[in-house]
Amino acid sequence: MKPLNPKEIVAELDKYIIGQDMAKKAVAIALRNRWRRQQVPEELRDEIAPKNIIMIGPTGVGKTEIARRLAKLAQSPFLKIEASKFTEVGYVGRDVESMVRDLTELAVKQVKDEETENVQAKSYEIAEEKILDLLLPPPPRRASATPMPGVQEVETTAKPLSAAPEQSASVSTREKLRTMLKGGKLDDREVELEITQQNMPVVEIFSAAGLEEMDINLKDMFGSMLPKKTKKRKVKIPEALEIVAKEEAQKLIDMDKVMKMAIQRVEQSGIIFLDEIDKIASRDYGQGPDVSREGVQRDLLPIVEGSTVTTKYGMVKTDHILFIASGAFYVSKPADLIPELQGRFPIRVELNSLSKEDFVRILTEPQNALIKQYIELMKTEGVALIFKEDAIEKIAEIATSVNERTENIGARRLHTIMEKQFEEISFNAPEMKGQEVIVDASYVSGRLDDLIKDEDLSRYIL
């Protein structure tokens, strides 16, 4: 895949997120810079530190949405995680280093998938041979061999006519079978496979206790110690091919190489998106339970600035991992983060609160727009929802006014309003098969006006 340039990245994000141009631009540049750095001569490459970003904006305006869509576009290992998940080292919970471990885990999987893809043709070839072996066991020394159980249906036409044609007859049967296999003619036939399973009940207990480091080692230890259980299972041939090919691919892949490549990728182009960073900022430092939040911030410093984290695949240096943080900063302010951490996020972008015009667009434009979702949902019941323009205006207007009068929860308000408005239809749809429902401004007013007039009601229901 060709790396996307900043304009293409913004265009992709535009498909799902309305407005917030500054934020889109900033993340697009950051993403592109990952690629640019790779192209720079090696001596200089190490000197180019990533410019970490912090996105600030009220709730429900698209911060997490940007991260989610970005994850799909980034061709580098990308981890999105909530900062509120972490606790200070020494407390029960996840320590911040675990995000680097998670990212590495992701990269290993990514590289492994690619390598599997690379050996796919070969692994399928081997699998095919193995299945053929099952269908038509290699001829034993004596001609009077009984065919393998479960595959009696195979015609054993290999009756020796003259001296030693046994071999060649079975070869030609094998070729016939191969053609049938390739042509999908044997898809309904079953073969018996031995399937390896591995279960490690022990490890669960430890990970629940939050001893992550230990957890890793235990998994490695017990993984090879616990007996591998094998189970015989009858499966249809296409599935058998999949299973055997997968097993063969595992054998063909050089795991050492995969690990090396994965770590390289994490170190050189990894991205960590730290969502809800405001939840670890606290206004009054050093009081009560908040010490541990500040502790999380302090634990974050070395990781953001560059340190080495031990993972089960090896040591990972975090110097060049890009961090994008985001938070609503509703109660706390960015200035409430400890200064050292603020300094490590040099780029600040603000996301705007959404206007009525934005809501109109959010309702209709994105590929996953709410209006489209409801139309499709009702279609499954045979009910056609027909939206008129004035209805959309009206919904946007209501969302804006409820946001103004009660809490501003951004675009999430649209979800609550839409759900309330279609409550009745959602409930009755199965009995309305074949009907058409025209949704216009008066339809919307009819369902929602009473609620909106009553401030208390709208506070609780919308």
Ligand X SMILES: Nc1ncnc2c1ncn2[C@@H]1O[C@H](COP(=O)(O)OP(=O)(O)OP(=O)(O)O)[C@@H](O)[C@H]1O
Q: Which does 328 bind (CB under 5 to 8 A by kind): ligand X, Mg ion, none?
A: ligand X
Angle at 46 between CA 41 and CA 51, to 5 degrees: 110
Q: Within a 10 A sphere around the Cβ of 259, how many other Cβ atoms?
A: 19
| One residue of 12, 49, 64, 442 binding ligand X per CB under 6 A | 64
Q: Which of residues 101-160 bind ligand X (CB under 6 A)?
A: none
17 binds ligand X (CB under 6 A): yes
Q: Which does 410 bind (CB under 5 to 8 A by kind): ligand X, Mg ion, none?
A: ligand X
Residue 3 vs 334, nearer CB to ligand X: 334
Whether the CB-CB separation of 320 and 304 falls below 8 Å is answered with no
Instruction: Report d(CA 84, CA 103) in Å as an integer.
Output: 17
Q: Which does 262 bind (CB under 5 to 8 A by kind): ligand X, Mg ion, none?
A: none
Residue 64 vs 406, nearer CB to Mg ion: 64
Tell which residue, 285, 270, 293, 262, has the closest CA to residue 96: 293
Residue 18 vs 429, nearer CB to ligand X: 18
| One residue of 13, 132, 259, 362 binding ligand X per CB under 6 A | 362
CB of 59 to ligand X, least distance (A): 3
Residue 248 vs 336, nearer CB to ligand X: 336
Q: Which of residues 217-246 bind ligand X (CB under 6 A)?
A: none
Residues making contact with Mg ion (CB under 5 A) = 63-64
Tell which residue, 195, 79, 90, 181, has the closest CA to residue 131: 181
Contacts of 186 (CB under 8 A, 6+ apart): 135, 177, 180, 237
Residue 298 vs 412, nearer CB to ligand X: 412
Which region, judged by CB under 6 A, interacts with ligand X, from 52-60, 166-174, 185-193, 210-218? 52-60
DSSP β-ladder status, 347-350 and 53-56: parallel
Which region, judged by CB under 6 A, interacts with ligand X, from 42-50, 63-71, 149-157, 308-316? 63-71
Q: Which of residues 405-434 bind ligand X (CB under 6 A)?
A: 410-412
Instruction: Report d(CA 458, CA 270) in Å as an integer.
Output: 44
Q: Which does 362 bind (CB under 5 to 8 A by kind): Mg ion, ligand X, none?
A: ligand X
Residue 17 vs 249, nearer CB to ligand X: 17
Instruction: Report d(CA 324, CA 342) in Å as an integer.
Output: 12
Whether the CB-CB separation of 294 and 339 falls below 8 Å is answered with no
CB of 65 to Mg ion, least distance (A): 8
Q: Which does 65 bind (CB under 5 to 8 A by kind): Mg ion, ligand X, none?
A: ligand X
127-152 in b/e form (b: 16+ CB < 10 A) is bbebbbebbbeebeeeeeeeeeeebe
CB of 203 to ligand X, least distance (A): 33
- Only one residue has tokens 């429900």, namely 60
At 297 the three-state DSSP class reads helix
19 binds ligand X (CB under 6 A): yes
Number of residues that bind ligand X (CB under 6 A): 18
Whether the CB-CB separation of 351 and 62 falls below 8 Å is answered with yes
Tell which residue, 127, 384, 383, 102, has the closest CA to residue 246: 127
18 binds ligand X (CB under 6 A): yes
Phi and psi torsions of 308, nearest 5°? -115, 130
| One residue of 62, 77, 270, 295 binding ligand X per CB under 6 A | 62
59 binds ligand X (CB under 6 A): yes
Note the residues at the interface with ligand X (CB under 6 A): 17-20, 57, 59-65, 328, 362, 366, 410-412
